Chain A
Amino acid sequence: MAHRIDPSCRYSKSHEWIRVTDEFGYIGISDYAQQQLSDIVYVEVPEVGDSFTQSEVFGVIESVKAATDCYLPVAGEIVEVNQDLEDTPELVNKDPYGDGWLVRIAIEDLGELDTLMSPQAYETFVKRVQAEAEH
């Protein structure tokens, strides 16, 4: 299935994206990830003020299939959560790079962004994941 990759984001191997402005970042899951999860029915997000290290679980996405952990791509403190997901979690399916964002963080160490994948690298990564899934 075709999926979109937002050129303005950087990506983790667990399919989260981060879009950075100054020392803040919006975080969500990729279009590929939402397609894999199928219909999303609930999103559990943390509280504003909570802090997490890089790759720590910060939330859970419940789809019709299963509950899936979300990992923070870089360490930081939650400064905002997407309140709209409480009543319309399907926004993550419909607009994963836009209205379906999950949280906004204050990034602790901008250097950690270098550990994430560029859009091009993520595209290659997904192709490899898909090829492996077919075997």
Chain B
Amino acid sequence: MVKRTALYERHLALGGRMVEFAGWELPVQYTAGPKEEHLATRRAAGLFDIDHMGQVEISGEDALPFLDYVLTADIAKFAPGSANYGLLCYADGGIVDDVFIYTLPGRYLMVINAANRAKDVKWLQAHAVGAEVLVRDISSETYMLALQGPQAQAVLQPLCPADLGQLERHHALETSLLDTPALVGRTGYTGEDGFELYIHQENAPAVWDALLARGQPLGLLPVGLAARDSLRFEACMPLYGQEISAVRGPVGAGLGWAVAWDKGDFIGSDALLKERLEGARERLVGLRLLEHGVPRHGYRVLTGEAPCGEVTSGMYAPTLDGFYAMAYVVAEYAAIGTELAVEIRGKPLKAMVVKRPFYKLHENGR
């Protein structure tokens, strides 16, 4: 049974084109279209219904050592009120999921991918057995919205009594929105400044309406899944199932920074340390096409005429006005400046390995 979010009727009224995604019926785009939604988020602000994302609350006396064992990050170093990226790994070094962990008073909040929700919860609960840890899937009672872009703070501030100017990147605040309880994180999946909001489901329509009303005069648009993907793509944020997976681990994906190499034993540590020492056979790179054409997931990457890799995500990048891809290539072809080709419908199109991310705030002429 496909689920609908509490904002379903609003999406329809805004011209949302509904598609199924991870068991949810969500707008892939609204009337303005993916490109305009993408550019509005970079230029002003974008509002996203991301209720499909999962949330797991982890509490209890052993919460810290438990998380320290299941996550690659060094939990003990997370400051109170911080929000940090982390990976859940299998013993062989493959990735169960990539997550965000909010360190809150008396509990941790883990934000997980919609498509991995059941798997993650099962994984966490299995490893919590015997410990003083409560792992609770609170996805259905937690509504998640994202508000992203340079105008995000101006749009959100009137709804919130706390001074959002004091809220630093990758930190969170338990406060209120429209006088109802809210957790506000200065986090996101777009490469922009912005917020992710955790509220009760019954308050979602009022908060959504207020943000739209405040934001639209400033250039805010509601943003669908297509632009959510192109925004994260330009910022080279990995998408589970594409850049990372059970067989694409952190070393090859360039996510070594998310692994606390010196923290001691954790799930996957032996395999990851070995891989780090030996080096990944294939590495994730950014490619810029030197000719016109759209590289897509699964297309082959060539050196000369020989295959040397595969595209994980590729598309037209609206902010950069060019065609880009992320791809795994054999490590010897991963150096920046290497000339390769992407095979598109049997035809090799020239491409060059370029720096990731493709788009970085305060660069790219901003």
Given A64-B34, A64-B230, check contact A42 B292 (CB 8 Å): yes
Docked complex Cα distance between A62 and B33 (Å): 15
Evaluate contact between A64 and B226: CB separation under 8 angstroms: yes
Chain A neighbourhood of B230, CB < 8 A: 64
Evaluate contact between A65 and B316: CB separation under 8 angstroms: no
Give which listed residue, B226, B293, B296, contacts A38 with CB less than 8 A: B226
Chain B neighbourhood of A42, CB < 8 A: 292-294, 316, 323
**What's the least CB distance linking A56 to chain B, in Å?**
15
Q: Is B55 an interface residue (CB 8 A)?
A: no
Evaluate contact between B292 and A86: CB separation under 8 angstroms: yes
Chain A neighbourhood of B315, CB < 8 A: 41, 64
Give A1's nearest chain B residue, CB to CB. Answer: B15
Chain A neighbourhood of B323, CB < 8 A: 41-42
B:1-45 near A, CB below 8 Å: 15, 17, 28-29, 33-35
Report which residue of B34, B292, B315 has the largest number of chain A beta carbons within 10 angstroms of its beta carbon.
B292
Chain A neighbourhood of B28, CB < 8 A: 38, 65
Chain A neighbourhood of B29, CB < 8 A: 38
Chain A neighbourhood of B294, CB < 8 A: 41-42, 62, 67
Report which residue of A1, A42, A86, A90 has the largest number of chain B beta carbons within 10 angstroms of its beta carbon.
A42
The 9 closest A-B pairs by CB, nearest first: A41-B316, A62-B294, A39-B35, A64-B34, A39-B33, A39-B34, A64-B226, A42-B294, A42-B292
Q: List the interface of chain B (C-beta within 8 A of A).
A: 15, 17, 28-29, 33-35, 226, 230, 292-294, 296, 315-316, 323, 345
Contact sample, A vs B, 29 pairs, CB 8 Å cutoff:
A1-B15, A38-B17, A38-B28, A38-B33, A38-B226, A39-B33, A39-B35, A41-B35, A41-B294, A41-B315, A41-B316, A42-B292, A42-B293, A42-B294, A42-B316, A42-B323, A44-B293, A62-B294, A62-B316, A64-B34, A64-B35, A64-B230, A65-B28, A65-B226, A67-B294, A67-B296, A67-B345, A86-B292, A90-B35
Q: List the interface of chain A (C-beta within 8 A of B).
A: 1, 38-39, 41-42, 44, 60, 62, 64-65, 67, 86, 90, 93
